[in-house]
Amino acid sequence: MVRLRVVTTDDWPLWRDVRRAALAEAPHAFKSRLADWHRGGEERWRARLEMPDAYHVVALLDGRAAGMASGMPGDGGGDGDGRPPELRSVWVSPEARGHGVGGRLIAAVETWALRTGATALRLAVIPGNAPAIALYERHGFAATREPGDLLADGVTRELVMVKALRRS
């Protein structure tokens, strides 16, 4: 059974453990590296969770952490007057894949974005991460022509995808 848990600053050890698991299991899927997150201790993990207006959620499968996602505020809500909020740090553990965990995490961040008044949700994904791109496409995201951030190789850019949000 999958249960989602919104995490707060007091949950920093849980967030740290899931984030480290994600970076260790799928280093190809993130711009950050595991080594980048060994510095700073508790204060650094708390700071990530204290970001104003951000949303962080962990998926628990049979009581064990099995995935994560964040929603980061934009600067204009996605209504054409600025950048919409962003879906970030999505990861599902190998044993939880195929159980709908990724979809549940995405839906939770979409609900958060709608509550903020957003009309779109944005994300950036590493090109070539076919499983992630397929997951996002299944959930209504489409590639844009917007150039993503430059990756460490100095040549490749992230693929930017956007989904229009509708109130039900």
pLDDT at residue number 37: 61
Average pLDDT, the chain: 89
Mean pLDDT of 148-161: 90
pLDDT at residue number 78: 46
pLDDT at residue number 45: 86
Mean pLDDT of 9-26: 92
Distance, CA of 43 to CA of 112 (rounded, Å)? 25
Residue 93 has pLDDT above 90, yes or no: yes
Strand 120-125 versus strand 2-6 pairing type: unpaired
Hey, which residues does 142 pair with through a beta bridge? Answer: 162
Which has the closest alpha carbon to 128: 105, 150, 157? 157
The pLDDT confidence band at residue 84, using thresholds 50, 70 and 90, is very high
pLDDT at residue number 13: 93
Which has the closest alpha carbon to 51: 67, 74, 72? 72
The pLDDT confidence band at residue 79, using thresholds 50, 70 and 90, is very low
Percent with pLDDT over 90 in the chain: 67
pLDDT at residue number 30: 75
Helices and strands (H and E) in the chain: how many: 4, 7
Q: What's the predicted TM-score (pTM) here? A: 0.90
Residue 41 has pLDDT above 80, yes or no: no
Residue 103 has pLDDT above 60, yes or no: yes
Percent with pLDDT over 70 in the chain: 90
Q: Tell me: the pLDDT tens digits for 115-144?
A: 999 999 999 999 989 999 999 999 999 999
